[in-house]
Structures are given as C-alpha cells and as structure tokens.
Amino acid sequence: MSVEEVYFIPRENMTSVYNSEDIMDLSEKAYFHFMNYEEEILYILEEENVKGLLSIGDLERFYNDDVNCFEVNQKYTFLNSVDYDEAVKFFGRVRSVNEIPVISANNRLEGIIRYKKAEELRKLQRRTLQEAKKNKWYRNEIRRFISSTKAKVLLYAHHTPSVRYEEYEIWKKRQRNESDVKWKGMEEDEWKIFWGSEYEDGIADAMEKEVKLSNLVVSNGIAAFSDRNGRCYQFIDGYRVTKNNPVAAERNIFMFGPCIVLGGYCKDEQTIETYLQDLLIRDGYIEWKVLNRGLFGPEYCYHSMFAEKLTENDIVIIWYEEKWLPKKAARQLIFQGDLTDVFDSFPSLADYFVDSTWHCNYLVNQRLAQRMYGDLCATGALDAPKRISIPERIQNYYIGWDIWKYFSQYFEQYKLYKRTGDGKSGAIVMNCNPFTKGHRYLIEQALKTVENLYIFVVEEDKSYFKFQDRLEMVRRGVSDLAGVHVAPSGRYIISQHTFAQYFEKDQIERVDSMDYDVYIFGEVVAAGLGIQYRFVGEEPLDQVTRAYNDTLKRILPDFGVMVIEIPRITVEKCGQEVVSATLVRKALQEKDMYMLEKLCPESTITYLKEQRNL
C-alpha cells in the first residue's frame, strides 16, 4: 500500500460518530450501522470527547463469545495528526482494519485516515457478522428452553467430520446436478449403494414424490406436518410415525432437530427414533415411547419444543449445530454429546450421505441410535422413578429468528427507541383509509394517558387509498402534536403474514385466530419500545376488528400492556352516526364537500384537494 491510496475524512463528513447519551442499545446500534453503512468502526463521544470506539470485529466477538455485556473499546491505536506515512505503516501491520482515527491532544476526534477495502471483503464481513448474531440468538433460545422446561434434556452438537476432497467433490456435483430428472442429483446406481440391502425398485422416485407432498402447516409460528399415510412417510398429529411405539407407554422421549432427526431420506422404520425405540423394547423399557419432531430444514424445527406439553418424567433430545450450543446451561441438561466419531466410522461418506452429513442413510441412523441409547443409559434417566407431574408447555406460540432479525433492522430504520425516564408510552395501529377526525380524536385521547405515542400505519396496499397516501395524511394530521412517532407497520404488525383476514373483511363469515399478530406485538414490539398501553377505537359494527380488539384484551396484559378502548365520536347533523373512513369514502365518491369537512381534519381535506382535485 502507498500513501496515494489513503485519504483523510474530517469529522463533519463522517457518519460513524455517535454521542453515548443517544444510544439505548449499543450492540443493536452498532449492528444496524455495520450492516447498512460502509464504516467498520464506530466512534462514541461523551461531551465531545472520545469515550471509545468499537469495530465490526469487536461486535462479532461479542456475539461469538456468548457474553451479555458489550462495551466500547478504550484501548486503541490513533494518530495525533493527519500523518499518511504513519497510517500506511499501521495498515501494513493490521491488515484487517482499513481506517485509523486522528485524535487531538485534548481528546477531540478530528477525523479518520482510511483506504477503500475491496467490496467482496466488506460483504464477507457483513455475512459473518449476521451469522454470529444469529448464533448468539440460538444459544440464548436453547438456554431459555433448558431453563424453562421440566423435562430432562440431552444436547447433541452436529460437528462436520473429516471429509476427503473426493467425497466433497461428489457432494458438490450432486448439488449442481439436482433436477426433476435426478432427485438430489444422484444416479440410480448411487441410490442403490445408498440404500444397500434395503434397496427396492422405484424407492427413490416414491420418496421424492412423498417429500414434495409433505405439507407443513404453520400456526402461531409453529410448524407441523399435516397427516399423511405414505409408503415411506407417515405423519400423525404433526409427528412422523415411530414404528413399534408401545401402546401402553406413559413416558416420552422427544427428539427435535432438522433432516437427520426427521430421517429425511429414510423410511419410517429406518429413522433414529425407530431404531432407538427398538433398543428400548429389547431391554424391557416398554414404558418409554420415542416421538419424532424432526422437520426438513432448520427454519422451524426447534419452535415446537417450546409449545410441547412436557413433564419431569419426559426426556428431550435436541440436535443442534455446534455453534448454537451455549457454554453454560441449566441443571435440566443431563448430557451434552458429540457424535463426530460415529460419522468418521464410515469408510466413504459419499456412499452413506446424499450431499452433506445432515442427509444420511439407515445404517448411519442405526449407529446414531445405538450411541444415543448408550448415552441415555449412562445418565440413569431411563431408570428414574416416575413422578406425579402435570404436562406443561412453555408457550403456545413461537417467534423465530427471522422475525427478531427483521425488527432489529426495523426499529433502527425508523428511529424507534425505548424512551427513558418516567414517561409512559403507548401505541395505536391504524389503517387510516383516509385519516379522519375519529383517528385524530383517538390520538388526542391517548395522549391524555401517555407522553410518547407510536402510531403504526398499516403498510399493506389493500385499501382504497394507497399506503403512501395514508401515511402522509397521518403525518400531516399529527404534525402539531408532541410525543407522537409515526411509522409504517411493516411486515408483522397487522399484515398478510400475521392477520390476513383484516384485509378480507367483506368475504369473512367466520373470524379465525389472529393471536400470532398480538403475540408478536407484545413480545417484540411492546417490549422493544417500552409500550405500556395499546389504544383502540370502540368497534360496534366490524366483526373482524371487534374480534381483534377482544384478542388484544386477552393476550397483551400478559406482556404488561393495558388495552384501552375509546368510544368513537359521532357526526353532527348525521343521525349521530360514528365517524368512519367508510363515510369519508362515500362522501368523496359523491363529491360531498360538506360531509367531508364534517368527517376529516383540515390536513386531510388539504391533501385530498392536492391529490384528487376536489
């Protein structure tokens, strides 16, 4: 690197400088910045003095080290002046960093000297940072489950065994060749080797068809297979069938995990669970039955264990990636194992595994079941006396990583933060199709209770007025009110993902559950923003909205959120009919300016005149 490749950026042109008093959550602020801006270092000031800095590497280490406290780095290298020669020497020594701060003798940040890092390296940094945050989240979820469940827990880490170059190339070739003609990219001769003595003509085709017909039903964020009775796969009540379950068994061994736990490329009688069941029966443990809660892929496969009804007489076996295993766990964890040597015991992985060590044949499952059975016996859990215990679940819904990741970005994007101090915070979710005096009245009444009010405008474009029009009318309609924060509702606050019936009111004969929308609001949104109140308008006519209000009242108090229902105002000289957006749209279609002015605030009238030429 030469002096010509580096350049100086003065502080006033930097976007990576933050005052410590403006930061509510340092790790979330840093994560959002590193994922959305080019800088790799943040500079934290306190009364204009440099308090410390943190790099993208510092944040990644925080996620990977499984610790709770994240602090700014107060030991770092800096220059006292714009010295390009010294900067080049520093970059030569520390190749992972592409900038160095210039800090004056009185501890004031003057700017930075930097060089442009290759775009591919920057993308790689973002990918590894996102992966590290995801790993931390999963570690915390495993720890939460272990600490909350009554059942005894065994954890197995999925380590990748030593894979020879030739085997790895075979796997890559299969992945490239996968098509409708070649399932998993494998020739029939390869399937014969994979199935060995269990091979049957047409078995691969039959299994492929059944895999494609296996439907996942997702309710309250928890996925389960719909019932199916196939040649290879049978599903009953969300479980894959384990053969030979004792009819009279009163104690359960639940297994949770992805494809390898499900037995994705094996028949019901060839899964780990069935082989484990056979070993239990062989040795007289007929009071135990093994239940298969595996799923294809990792997206949903751990959600259901939080909703499973368990007792202290049950055992739970969880198969996780090694990087998701917590370093510290609760007393319910009775065993933590490593099965790498089982994989290493096979002479040719390409003959026993389709395209990775997650996708194995029945012979691998046999050995895995034997190892797990030995581990279970060693813990003594199979012989523990049965106690009187009531089955309990941790919760009846689950909010997965993708939703938490989304809201991490969402809060930062719209500058929504938990307010400090004694001020109360509330929220209203509004469609505002368009913004009426009724909406304004609801907001004014809410502000009599709270100092900070978040208004989430429904973002789905399923209404008479487009979302951007509705959002703008709300912003104009509350511009004179202090403490009001307006934002789009996003993907998970009254949306097609969480409450599709809201947008199909005219076709609804029966109102289905909208619980999941409310759970997300309570656990993620209200907790993240410190919301203590949810305000709604009284709903005398709309059955869907009325049912939703009842759901809010039923669920949100469990999250410390009080639901306040406010009576709607009526229209003067119109038979005391309540103010509604429906009346506004009717008046708009009839070009009834008198009624529009009765129903809408001046800000909405002005906007409609601008957009509709009234």
Q: Is the pTM of this model over 0.85?
A: yes
Classified by CATH at the fold level, domain 3-128 comes out as CBS-domain (3.10.580)
Of 540, 546, 83, 146, the C-alpha closest to 336 is 146
Under the banding of pLDDT at 50, 70 and 90, the label for residue 507 is: very low
| Cβ–Cβ < 8 Å for 229, 237 | no
Question: CA dist 578 to 164, 245, 261, 544, 545, Å?
Answer: 74, 61, 57, 17, 15
How remote is the C-alpha of 214 from its chain's centroid? 24
Triad 559, 485, 607: Cα angle to 5°: 130
Tens of pLDDT, residue by residue over 517-566, are 999 999 999 999 999 999 999 876 677 888 889 999 999 999 999 999 99
Least confident range of 183-197, 385-399, 407-421: 407-421
Average pLDDT over residues 335-345: 90
Classified by CATH at the fold level, domain 401-612 comes out as Rossmann fold (3.40.50)
How crowded is residue 614: how many other Cβ atoms within 10 Å of its Cβ? 12
User: Which residue has better confidence, 607 or 463?
Assistant: 607
pLDDT at 572: 65
Taking every pair of C-alpha atoms in the chain, what is the biggest distance, in angstroms? 87
pLDDT reading at 575 higher than 60:
no
pLDDT at 576: 56
pLDDT at 97: 87
pLDDT at 233: 94
Of 436, 429, 430, 428, the C-alpha closest to 585 is 436
pLDDT at 420: 72
Of 442, 439, 432, the C-alpha closest to 470 is 432
Residue 149 one-letter amino acid: T
pLDDT at 483: 93
Please tell me the distance from the alpha carbon of residue 196 to that of residue 184, in angstroms, as a whole number: 17
User: Which residue has better confidence, 153 or 503?
Assistant: 153
pLDDT, mean over the chain: 90
Please tell me the distance from the alpha carbon of residue 434 to that of residue 465, in angstroms, as a whole number: 7
Of 122, 113, 294, 333, the C-alpha closest to 214 is 294
Burial class (CB in 10 A: 0-12, 13-18, 19+), 212: exposed
pLDDT at 511: 45
Where exactly are the structural domains of the chain?
3-128, 149-383, 401-612
pLDDT at 10: 95
Average pLDDT over residues 202-222: 89
Beta bridge partners of 354: none
How crowded is residue 575: how many other Cβ atoms within 10 Å of its Cβ? 6
Calculate what percentage of the chain has a pLDDT beyond 90: 67
Of 344, 361, 346, 367, the C-alpha closest to 186 is 361
User: Which residue has better confidence, 173 or 612?
Assistant: 173
pLDDT reading at 512 higher than 70:
no
Under the banding of pLDDT at 50, 70 and 90, the label for residue 577 is: confident
Q: Say yes or no: do domains 3-128 and 401-612 share a fold.
A: no
pLDDT at 508: 40
Under the banding of pLDDT at 50, 70 and 90, the label for residue 47 is: confident
Under the banding of pLDDT at 50, 70 and 90, the label for residue 171 is: very high
Please tell me the distance from the alpha carbon of residue 59 to that of residue 65, in angstroms, as a whole number: 10
How crowded is residue 551: how many other Cβ atoms within 10 Å of its Cβ? 19
pLDDT reading at 502 higher than 70:
no
Average pLDDT over residues 422-437: 91
Tens of pLDDT, residue by residue over 77-136, are 999 999 999 999 999 998 888 999 999 999 999 999 999 888 888 889 999 999 999 999
Look up residue 276 and give its two tokens.
């484990």
Average pLDDT over residues 21-50: 90
Under the banding of pLDDT at 50, 70 and 90, the label for residue 50 is: very high
User: Which residue has better confidence, 16 or 498?
Assistant: 16
Determine how β-strand 333-338 pairs with β-strand 288-292: unpaired
Helices within 187-287 (DSSP H only) = 188-195, 203-213, 259-262, 272-282
In sequence order, the 6+-apart residues with CB closer than 8 A to the CB of 168 are: none
Under the banding of pLDDT at 50, 70 and 90, the label for residue 588 is: confident
Calculate what percentage of the chain has a pLDDT beyond 70: 95
pLDDT reading at 160 higher than 90:
no
User: Which residue has better confidence, 161 or 73?
Assistant: 73
pLDDT at 182: 87
DSSP string, 263-301: TTTS-GGGSHHHHHHHHHHHTT-TTEEEEE---SSSSST
Instruction: State the number of CA atoms in the 13 A half-sphere of 429 facing the CB.
Output: 23
Tens of pLDDT, residue by residue over 472-497, are 999 999 999 999 999 999 999 988 77
Of 378, 357, 382, 379, the C-alpha closest to 368 is 357
Residue that is written with structure tokens 């290879």 in the block:
232
Please tell me the distance from the alpha carbon of residue 576 to that of residue 578, in angstroms, as a whole number: 6
Please tell me the distance from the alpha carbon of residue 9 to that of residue 28, in angstroms, as a whole number: 25
Average pLDDT over residues 565-594: 79
Q: φ and ψ at 416, to 5 degrees?
A: -105, 120
Tens of pLDDT, residue by residue over 246-303, are 999 999 999 999 999 999 999 999 999 999 999 999 999 999 999 999 998 878 889 9
Please tell me the distance from the alpha carbon of residue 570 to that of residue 593, in angstroms, as a whole number: 18
